[in-house]
Chains A and B, each alone.
Chain A
């Protein structure tokens, strides 16, 4: 088939909501966009283990400890599905990890903020995972088959993550004055970075239009952000806490909450590497990889020896 016909078939499939599968022909730029997005997503899961991992040894009860460990472990599992989904597009996990470590590939900037108190475990679950879910529910219907299927599995676990985060904050909000203060402080610190998770405004988002045309994305950054604000503005009432935005107000005409302007200077500064923990997060990943090199080499050497024995036998 000529490229033109293949391209037509590809677009017909997209229009007819038929998933694009690894062996199907696809435009090079569609492949690249998916690799970029899926790997960025995978890296976010893996780097995202670090801020929460920071509190595992200090979790305040055995039950909370068990839930937190299980949650961070789920993130490792999500990273694994997503690396596998990216690999179906013809790139190896080693290459993907190399791109993360070299700084070429990005991960979600939210994980460049520090986790300073136990309440941050709650705020991450509620706000960060809450924002992620809004994005991921949309991605369950993304046009690339392996990515969509990975997202269906991931979404099931993410809703548990959000609930456990809310539960942590709920407990704090009903607790001592010190716990209430800890809860409000965490919300204050995580609210704006969570809004930034949806990316630049539509007008400043270079990839958005094409991604929507290809049905990789189904909603724009601003639409998703609005959904998130509407959801959280209601949930925060249950906690009896406030969101740190004086401009947050229900707009009856729009049937949405209005909210204040994001600090875009901070957004771009953190994306470009100058958030509070950018260097530490990347260094932690690089260290784990380098310190594990001898382990991976040993496993490989051992497997090779066993293989040779089998051949001889």
Chain B
């Protein structure tokens, strides 16, 4: 159930891996649209976001690998060993990011819910305890601001577009909302004493921003007594995760030790 990667107990390393995994898996899901978007311009736009998230994940993995190797010079970790050689239970991404891409409403809504959270979180990271992570956050935020803008505009278009698009957004809300609370429940490695950020406290502002756009899009904000799913941050994933990794890791697993 575990590989050598489970031995890296340092909370900062685990936190970096959580941030990286979340961006990587969302990027992996969004990349499924490439060549299949609803209109050419939007095919390009979602692919831009895919590339941004992948680039952010790489910076985070690279930094995590650097810290691991410093501690343990024989570890020889790289962005690729971290992204490709771990087992399912060692991935820490939010459950939200691993769900199937669904229709355009699901993809848009997921991007919106995540990007608003990412914007708040990374803004806090600018003043977090770790300077290198702050620099990654600063670089990422330039992209995240655009992701929030783009996805907000699409939430408005779809929510307040046609009866069909409105209904599809309602369905998307129904299927995604239960995965949102996980963002604000701190895992052990996310404790304020380690990151300098109280992630629980971000929820209020997140809800305010998300609700404002949903209301403008004529969509009802789901009630707060909905049961919330959690587990991703500690490696207990949905059934989708194994298939994602089967694709992602296929070549690295089939040809161990090869360079590409």
Contact = CB atoms under 8 A, between A and B. Distances in A.
B43 A175 contact: no
A65 interface: yes
A66 B35 contact: no
B58 A66 contact: yes
Contacts of A178: 255, 258
Interface stretch (A124-132, A152-160, A293-301): A293-301
Interface in B18-74: 24, 28, 31-32, 34-44, 47-48, 50-51, 54-55, 57-58, 61
B208 interface: no
A72 interface: yes
Contacts of B51: 66, 69-70, 73
Nearest to A77: B44
B162 A57 contact: no
Interface string A56-99: 11111111111001101100110110010000000000000000
Given A62-B80, A178-B255, A305-B160, A57 B32 contact: yes
B254 to A, nearest CB: 9
Contacts of B47: 69, 72-73, 76
A288 interface: yes
Q: Which of A58, A59, A65, A298 has the most CB atoms of chain B within a 10 A radius of its CB?
A: A298
Given A57-B248, A58-B250, A64-B260, A295 B156 contact: no
Nearest to A300: B161
A228 B42 CA distance: 35
A295 B41 contact: no
Contact of A69 (B36, B50, B83, B250): B50
Interface residues of B, number: 49
Given A58-B250, A62-B58, A66-B54, A301 B161 contact: yes
A80 B47 CA distance: 15
A26 interface: no
B127 interface: no
Given A291-B103, A296-B39, A299-B157, A57 B28 contact: yes
27 contacts: A53-B34, A57-B31, A57-B248, A58-B248, A60-B260, A63-B58, A64-B260, A65-B54, A69-B31, A69-B50, A69-B51, A72-B34, A73-B51, A76-B40, A76-B44, A118-B251, A118-B260, A172-B260, A287-B36, A288-B37, A292-B39, A295-B158, A298-B162, A298-B164, A302-B156, A302-B161, A305-B160
Interface of A: 46, 49-50, 53, 56-66, 69-70, 72-73, 76-77, 79-80, 83, 118, 168, 171-172, 174-176, 178-179, 284, 287-288, 291-299, 301-302, 305
